[in-house]
Amino acid sequence: MYYLYGSKKGAEHRLVATFGSEQQLLAYVRWATLKDLGEHSGKFEQGSALASYSAWEHSTEPQTDEDASGVVHNPTPSML
């Protein structure tokens, strides 16, 4: 499983979605990014899992104690 995290300046990153493959995760981030500010930072599509965040990162292992079942799995643009 691949874990997508969102973060804001001055705050810890939060688990926002999980994906079955890295390809799906990266395609979703490309779609959700309205303005790329470099280094995994940007402005993100309203309604996307990253909407209220200013940066993202991903991992194949959980980085927080958050329950992965509490976030959307394999979100798609059509889910908005």
Whether the per-residue pLDDT at 79 is higher than 60: the answer is no
Cα-Cα-Cα-Cα torsion 50, 51, 52, 56, nearest 10 degrees, comes to: 30
Give the chain's end-to-end CA distance (angstroms, integer). Answer: 22
pLDDT tens-digit series, residues 25-36:
999 999 999 999
- Residue with tokens 């402005």, as numbered in its chain: 43
The structure's pTM equals: 0.90
Token code pair at residue 48:
């996307």
pLDDT tens-digit series, residues 16-73:
999 999 999 999 999 999 999 988 999 999 989 999 999 999 999 999 999 999 998 9
Whether the per-residue pLDDT at 78 is higher than 70: the answer is no
CA angle 7, 13, 16 (to 5 degrees): 80
Q: How many CB atoms lie within 10 A of CB 35?
A: 8
